[in-house]
Amino acid sequence: MIKTIVIAYCIVLYLSIPGFIGKAGYNWLLGFIPFLNFYLFIRVLNIKPILLILIGILLIISPFRSFIATAMIVYLPFMIGDCYETNLTYSFLGLIMPFFIFPFIAYFHGYYLYEGVE
């Protein structure tokens, strides 16, 4: 049951990434290219490279991998809500119901707040 929910979460996030990237000023079709979409999504969310390196190292060597991955999944809706002009209510709803909120924010609601992403 849990594996099915995680797979569904990943599919919904993957299908929402083109909308997030398109709102930030990139070509939305780049959101369907597997590694390029992850790179552009990281750029759109303004995650610093040193943080990615630290998280990667912790996921490799830490015995608390599941805790770190869970913390990343919990923190992601708040980062998306911060980038896309949504209030805290949408962030909490994204935590509870990401299957509906991620596509809604990606394709229908809000606009990208950060400038200077090229």
Report how many domains make up the chain. Answer: 1
The first and second tokens of residue 42, run together, are: 């990281």
Whether 80 contacts 102, CB under 8 Å: yes
In terms of Cβ atoms closer than 10 Å to its own Cβ (0-12, 13-18, 19+), residue 58 is middle
Reported as a single tens digit per residue, the pLDDT across 27-79 is: 999 989 989 998 999 888 888 889 888 988 988 998 988 898 888 889 999 99
* pLDDT value, residue 20: 92
DSSP state of 117: -
Classify residue 93: in a domain, yes or no.
yes
Distance CA 5, CA 9 (A): 6
Is 10 part of a structural domain of the chain? yes
Residue-level pLDDT at 116: 55
pLDDT at residue 49, as a whole number: 85
Please give the pLDDT value at position 114: 78
Is residue 94 included in any domain, yes or no? yes
CB under 8 Å to 36, separation ≥6 — which residues? 30
Please state whether the predicted TM-score (pTM) of the whole model is above 0.85. no
The reply to whether 56 falls in a domain is yes
113 in any annotated domain: no
Domain annotation covers residue 32: yes
**Residue 81: pLDDT over 60:** yes
Question: What domain range includes position 103?
Answer: 2-107
**Amino acid at position 46, single letter:** N
